Amino acid sequence: MDLTRRRFLELTGSAAAAALAHELFGLPELNAQNTGAGKPSEALSALAEVALARAKKLGATYADIRINRYRDQVVALRSTPDLATGKLNHVPAVRDTGSFGFGVRVIANGTWGFAASRIVTKDEIARVAAEAVAVAKANSALQKQPVRLSPVKAYVDKYTTPHQRNPFDVPIAEKLALLERANAEVKAVPKVFSANSTLVAHSEDKFFASSEGSRIQQYILQCYGQVTAAARDLERRVSRQRNYSPSPYTAGWEAIEEHDLPGNGRRIGEEVVEHLSAPPVTPGRKDLVLMPNHLALTIHESIGHSTELDRALGYEANLAGTSFLTPDKMGKFRIGSEIMNIQGDRTLPRGMSTVGYDDDGVKATEFDIVKNGVFQHFQTIRDQAHLVGEKESRGCCYADSFDSIPFQRIPNVWLKAGTKPMTLDDLIAAVDDGILIDGRGSWSIDQQRYNFQFGGDAFWEIKGGKKGNMISRVAYQSRSTDFWSSFEATADQRFWQNHGLTSDGKGQPTQINAMSHGSSPSLFRRINVLLTD
């Protein structure tokens, strides 16, 4: 019998063999204060010790272990009329997903090695640690420069996403009732074809221990929901959708209640019907007023990805690509106008990438990415900081699963609000011929993050400083530096909104990451607008 089969069967028969996830991690604390003096679980520390000792004994110069548990809950409701009878069918989906396991990362012979398993026993931890060392030693034959880690303090702490009500504790019936109300509001608008709504809760119980002395336990909680309206015109063979996708947050159920899905359901129902018969855009150079829930993705693609150091150095060349920003441009290359100020930040309240510590064990921090239009710093992790002459990691390390290898990921990357008093109406008033764009549509950008094309979820014509009716079939194209150079004004702090993204893919095998890109509504001059199909 081969090894994996034996291990699988051993577990299936016996309750005693492996630790149960919920017992190891305990219950998350409501309204956590995160003072920096939290106490991680002793049972987890004892398991971690096995990996660290084993790796050291086999010659590893560095080792860490992450023991993680993930939970996802999706509750969805699709309300579509039966084509024959017209009766509304409400099709539910209710799903709980979980996974649990550990990954061991080592440096041996100056080379990284990694191995993982879902069987959380001391024997298996020792075996996997040895496998990680073996992988590192085998790979060292092709290593040119030994891995170098920037220094980090040894932290012993516990961090919990601040939240008032855990979404996993909210009864399914309460969630479904909310979705029913939201779909009903959408469908109350005549001419709406179907309504679709979803609630998602995601949690990560993470324990990190390193051979440098850190013992960090974290509970990260994400919560979000959305509602979609669809309308169609069979004669013209045209269908449109409109979403209300309020920002995903690291937060509890209280965030969902703030979003008012039903109230916004009625609005998007009305807007999708207007969009269905909205006239097409006249293409050409136009001014764009972009709402925060749209600009989030533009920031993400043009600045979030281009300032990843691993891309700039060529580590992602085979898939995600490289970057128009290179290390020699730090501190001097102008990306955009003087009012462009962008932060990298893992401390932003409710930010989707907000944590206590990253997956290298580096304390969450905030740093300048762009200051007054000039590129300042890359996003880094511990094995990269020295490559750009920096002393410390910027804390951007993340792995999406216990069995994924941690690497550099985008933190919260947000655009600072304007410093002068300015409202959305002021921005619109400054536009003679332009478009107001709300929400996300299609998006695409090249592998060095120069040329992009974005759509949107809804578009309104701006003529003579006034917001007019909806228009359709809009996309815009630009180059990252041209686009940010045309950035003329942004509304003040009163209009600043956080906007989270949940499914950024990077790496091979692909890993998923979430982060937030906040901004205020912003004005960009003379952007190339296309008429799409």
Cα dihedral sign, 16-17-19-20: negative
CB 395 within 8 A of CB 384: no
The one among 26, 98, 151, 280 contacting another protein by CB under 8 A: 98
Q: In sequence order, what are the residues at sequence separation of 6 or more whose Cβ sits closer than 8 angstroms to the Cβ of residue 405? A: 103, 105, 112, 114, 399
Contact between 321 and another protein per CB under 8 A: yes
Contact between 55 and another protein per CB under 8 A: no
Contact between 122 and another protein per CB under 8 A: no
Q: For residue 357, what are the β-bridge partners? A: 363
Q: Which stretch binds another protein (CB under 8 A): 182-190, 250-258, 361-369, 404-412?
A: 404-412
The one among 108, 132, 256, 471 contacting another protein by CB under 8 A: 132
Nearest to 526 by CA among 493, 494, 479, 491: 479
Helices and strands per DSSP (H, E), number in the chain: 11, 24
| Binding to another protein in span 464-483, by CB under 8 A | 473, 475, 477, 479
**HSE-CB of 335 using CA atoms within 13 angstroms:** 30
Per-position x/- string for 253-292, each x denoting binding to another protein as judged by CB under 8 A, each - no binding = ----------------------------------------
Specify the residue, 321 or 465, whose C-beta has the smaller distance to another protein. 321
Contact between 442 and another protein per CB under 8 A: yes
- For strands 500-506 and 511-516, give the pairing: antiparallel
Contact between 207 and another protein per CB under 8 A: no
The one among 34, 45, 423, 447 contacting another protein by CB under 8 A: 447
The amino acid occupying position 335 is I
Contact between 517 and another protein per CB under 8 A: no
The one among 51, 63, 67, 116 contacting another protein by CB under 8 A: 116
Contact between 318 and another protein per CB under 8 A: yes
The one among 39, 319, 338, 372 contacting another protein by CB under 8 A: 319
Classify burial at 144, counting beta carbons within 10 Å of its beta carbon; exposed 0-12, middle 13-18, buried 19 or more.
exposed
Q: Which stretch binds another protein (CB under 8 A): 69-77, 244-252, 353-361, 456-464?
A: 69-77
Contact between 61 and another protein per CB under 8 A: no
User: Which DSSP category does 463 fall into?
Assistant: E
Specify the residue, 119 or 428, whose C-beta has the smaller distance to another protein. 119
Contact between 232 and another protein per CB under 8 A: yes
| Binding to another protein in span 140-199, by CB under 8 A | 141-145, 171-173, 176, 193-194, 198
Report, in Å, the least distance between residue 446 CB and another protein. Answer: 4
Q: Which stretch binds another protein (CB under 8 A): 12-20, 213-221, 291-299, 493-501?
A: 12-20
Contact between 58 and another protein per CB under 8 A: no
Contact between 97 and another protein per CB under 8 A: yes
CB 183 within 8 A of CB 196: yes
Q: Which residue has the tokens 């590893």?
A: 60
Q: In sequence order, what are the residues at sequence separation of 6 or more whose Cβ sits closer than 8 angstroms to the Cβ of residue 458? A: 242, 271, 275, 437, 438, 439, 470
DSSP element (H, E) containing 287: strand 284-290
The one among 41, 68, 109, 111 contacting another protein by CB under 8 A: 111
For the chain, percent helix, then strand, then coil, each to nearest 5?
Answer: 25, 35, 40
Q: How many residues bind another protein (CB under 8 A)?
A: 111
The one among 89, 372, 419, 469 contacting another protein by CB under 8 A: 89
Report, in Å, the least distance between residue 74 CB and another protein. Answer: 5
CB 91 within 8 A of CB 82: no
Contact between 30 and another protein per CB under 8 A: no
What's the token pair of residue 397? 């390390």
User: Which DSSP category does 304 fall into?
Assistant: I
The one among 33, 36, 96, 463 contacting another protein by CB under 8 A: 96
Specify the residue, 79 or 520, whose C-beta has the smaller distance to another protein. 79
CB 204 within 8 A of CB 219: yes
Question: What is d(CA 300, CA 320) in angstroms, rounded to the nearest whole number?
Answer: 14
